[in-house]
A and B are shown apart, each in its own frame.
Chain A
């Protein structure tokens, strides 16, 4: 397929989307930091890329050739899509250990793995999506978290694609915690219909920012 997502947003719209993702991910990082007992969470510079599905799979497969685990939530409203928190499967117990800072045996950690992954994903993805929704002055309904395991093809394939449509937006950013022991990615997948709606919302956001007449809703929240 062609990367028809690329070039869909103009420079200013892409800049606004990057700013929104930046705010959302910063909030998510603060949440993750709380969950792991105040340890520093490093985020890569949030350069947002709009790429097609095949390019998204290629990027992920290149940087993470092994098996991956993803916590996945659907968001619905004026835009519809899926948000994923992705990391290498080999690191999942490490992440669970980090968020279950209370003294737990290895058996308990294994027992809690699924729930801990779901809850961690829930907190991080909700922080990110809620911040973005507030900035766009819209409401998104966010589903319960689901866990997927597999490679990039599985995660961005039919099982998690918004619709049968080929056009997918892949917003990715990687994060590092525990001195580099745990790395992961946040991705958002939308189809072209949602991307068109998002373009309109970004234009409104840009206009509000230029007017500067209203305070940010997050400043009040």
Chain B
């Protein structure tokens, strides 16, 4: 399993074939509740680390998803438009949100490891 890294805003990143795949963590999907829709970024869109990249709506809340690293969107998971619940069901796998071509790979190194993230959410719960 390729290494997953996490942000404080509960996004995860996995590097595969020089692309960064992005999603939200299991903790995040649980907090949001049943997701009813997602506003995906357009391919070709360029985002800075920390910039709002997508918006996820549950029945009672609307949440920003921030780009965990800077780069250009090369692919988005269009299937989520019809079936946003996949994010709840499979947040790390089928529920991936976008693939980015990273512009600053150093940003990936500075994200939290799995253990660091688990400790982090242990504190904030």
Chain A bound to chain B = no
Chain A interface residues (CB < 8 Å from chain B): none
